[in-house]
Amino acid sequence: MKSMLSQISGKGLQAGIGAAILVLAVFTYPRWWPTASAWIDHTLSSHREAPDESTSPAPSNTTGASAAPVSIELSAQARNNLGLTDAYLRPLEATTYRRSLMVPAVIASRPGRSEILVASPLNGIVTHVHAVTGEAVMPGDLLFEVRLTYEDLVETQTLYLQSLSELIVEEREITRLEEATRSGAISGKSLLDRRYAKEKLEALLRSQREALRLHGLSDRQIDNIGIDGKLMRDLQVVAPNIDEHSEDEELRLSQKPMRQVAFNSGIRMVSRQPVSQHPLIIEDLRVSKGEAVVAGAKLCSLSDYTDLFIEGKAFEQDAEAINHALEQGWTVEGVLQSSNGLQIIGGLKLAFVNNSIDDISRTLSFFVELPNSVVRDETNSAGQRHIAWQYRVGQRLQVRVPVEEWENQIVVPVEAVVQDGADWIVFQRNGKSFRRVPVHVRHRDQTSAVIANDGSIFPGEVIALKAAHQILMAIKNQSGAGADPHAGHSH
């Protein structure tokens, strides 16, 4: 009995001690639990990461990111595949860079210069059309032949011929009367009357000659009417020369019908004054053979695309920067998107800036001179010449207008730098190897990147001026880490 009581008291004591410990643990939980929890997590983590000798793989030679290679050796074939020719492996130079403003623009014609209207100077009927839409002609080339039906011109020529005939008769009569007066057969009064009549005819002829000049005939043509006794009845319309003009320029009139020629005979009328060598394109042919035309009627239009404008559309807040570039005499660049990528048109001159802002678009127009050139010049089997110009009216592009200059900068193509995390990288050449060099990129646009001349790389060193993204991926693949194909690219 006594032993049973001792056992019961021992168990009660243990239960009491356990209950006391439990109460104490509950009240002191914030003090001991964080340390115990950290110790438990550490013990379990160490147990999970402990290698199992029976299943552990062979030691790997792959190093961590800290030991990743910083250079790569490229074979000649690899360099050719990346396009790293000698042109893209040349020493760097410190130069002056102009930070630019990109402005949308469109190629436009030059008002009063690019388009020429050809009109009929007199009434008539078109007897022959030598022009073909899209054909290239030169100043002085024959375009149309017109049979004149202009009543005033025909009547003036007729009266002029009639007056000339009457003058000839009067001169003969005066000669006869002078002989008769000397012999005493008639009195001198008749001779005097004839001389007065001759003076009247001469005055009438002078007025008629002036009237013919007003119609466009030259003195030579008027004299030919009197010599040949025939009216000018055929008008030849030729391509004008926009750069040359003479006050003695005459209508191309003939007294005899033109010899009928083939449609593509390529007749060229030789002008008396020097002609421009700019080819003209027949754009809008308005008449056909046999059609009656009146004075001033449009026959066709010619286009001269030798010199064009680039019309830029800038925002109002950019006006000060554009005017500053104009004052400094800085040239601008055109950036044209083509099938071969971006095409840079450099060395362009700012012509002028508009003095008004468009009410609807709220943009400021400025104009840049754009010299053009012929890229294709062919003559087909029919004898028609067709040419194609490098730049076309209506073509869209961008204009790069400089706003400030930075001196002593290293400027490289934008393909020469690549972003890797927080670093911008270029690849310096050392023999066949290319070593990555972190640099500070001050500015970057569509075509160029400006690297600060701070000692990271120096002028005279050779770097890869393209394919930096591909070289970075090759280095990462060499290190065993998967390369991000979009690294260094913005989409």
Domain map (residue ranges) of the chain: 68-96+406-479, 101-112+305-404, 116-148+233-304, 151-214
68-96+406-479 and 116-148+233-304, same CATH topology:
no
Residue 294, SS3? coil
Q: Which residues of 390-406 are buried (b: 16+ CB within 10 A; e: fewer)?
A: bbebebebbbbbbbeeb
Residue 468 burial (CB count, 10 A): 28
Fold of 68-96+406-479: 2.40.420
Q: In what order do the strands lie in the sheet with 433-439?
A: 71-73, 433-439, 423-430, 418-420
Q: Give the pLDDT band (50/70/90) at residue 260.
A: very low
Residue 271: which pLDDT band, with cuts at 50, 70 and 90? very low
Pairwise CA distance, residues 312 & 368, whole Å: 8
Q: Which CATH number fits domain 101-112+305-404: 2.40.30.170, 2.40.50.140, 3.30.70.270, 3.40.30.10?
A: 2.40.30.170
* Cα separation, 134 vs 242, whole angstroms: 19
- Round the CA-based radius of gyration of the chain to a whole number and report it: 47
The C-alpha atoms of residue 121 and residue 251 are separated, in whole angstroms, by 8
Q: Which of 353, 372, 348, 349 is nearest to 363 (CA)?
A: 353
**C-alpha to C-alpha distance for 459 and 411, rounded to whole angstroms:** 10
For β-strands 363-371 and 374-379, DSSP reports them as unpaired
The pLDDT tens digits of the residues spanning 22-34 come to: 666 656 655 665 5
- pLDDT tens-digit series, residues 177-235: 777 777 766 667 777 888 888 888 888 888 888 888 777 777 777 787 778 777 777 78
CATH number of 116-148+233-304: 2.40.50.100
How far out from the chain centre does Cα 448 lie? 20
Mean pLDDT value across residues 360-364: 89
Q: What pLDDT is recorded for position 193?
A: 80
Distance CA 330, CA 349 (A): 8
State the Cα–Cα distance between residues 279 and 386, nearest whole angstrom.
Answer: 10
Average pLDDT over residues 37-47: 52
For residue 349, give the nearest of 390, 307, 391 by alpha carbon.
307
pTM beyond 0.85: no
Residue 422 phi/psi, 5-degree rounding, is -90, -5
What are the C-alpha distances in Å from 123 to residues 127, 149, 451? 13, 6, 70
